[in-house]
Amino acid sequence: MTESHRTGTAALPAPLLVRTGGEHEVLEAFLDFHRATVRGKVGGLADAAARRRLVPSQTTLAGLVKHLTLVEREWFPALLTDGEPPVESGHTGGWEVAPEETLDALVTAYDAACARSRAVAAGLPLDHVVPHPQLGEVSLRWIYVHMIEETSRHAGHADILREQTDGATGVTA
């Protein structure tokens, strides 16, 4: 029997596994947990189900993934390496999903954006400060906390939408 099976840590979410880790490791673990939750909420869904509008706003499961991809790109690589978030022409926050965009492609783009975010953040101290066009200056620590809030809030939205879609509940479905 492995140590993780004896202690029961194999099934614990990442934030519980790094409870004595360094600040950077803890922040990354919480953000990754919420990223994985979003991915789990769209897992196994057909494109039509992920595009279905179940609330009066433009919010759909596919739109949440697209929005969070844009947010990852804006807050990590664009701001930390280019100096400011990109502002796309006709920027809608990523909520609108084009007919040719598939859920698989959206999830692949989200995974790539998260991997790029991790790579950019890994090389910087939490006290690293960059200018932000609307907020003045922000630190990497602040960006992590903001992204944890943003991603967890949308994971909650995804939880409700997934339950309305097919009754699935829980962290990974």
Per-residue pLDDT at 92: 62
Residue 93: in which H helix or E strand, if any?
Answer: none
- pLDDT in tens for each of the 173 residues of the chain? 333 333 444 456 667 777 888 999 999 999 999 999 999 999 999 999 999 999 998 899 999 999 999 999 999 998 998 766 655 544 567 789 999 999 999 999 999 999 999 999 998 999 999 998 888 899 999 999 999 999 999 999 999 999 999 998 877 66
The model scores a pTM over 0.85: yes
Ordered DSSP codes for 54-82: -SSSS--HHHHHHHHHHHHHIIIIIIIII
Q: What does the block give as tokens for 139?
A: 């630190």
Per-residue pLDDT at 93: 73
Question: Distance between CA 147 and CA 31 in Å, rounded?
Answer: 7
Q: Which domains does the chain have, with CATH numbers?
A: 21-166 (1.20.120.450)
Nearest Cα residue to 44 out of 67, 68, 63, 61 = 61
Question: Distance between CA 97 and CA 91 in Å, rounded?
Answer: 13
Q: How many CA atoms lie within 13 A of 125 on its CB side?
A: 3
Q: What does the block give as tokens for 92?
A: 């809608």
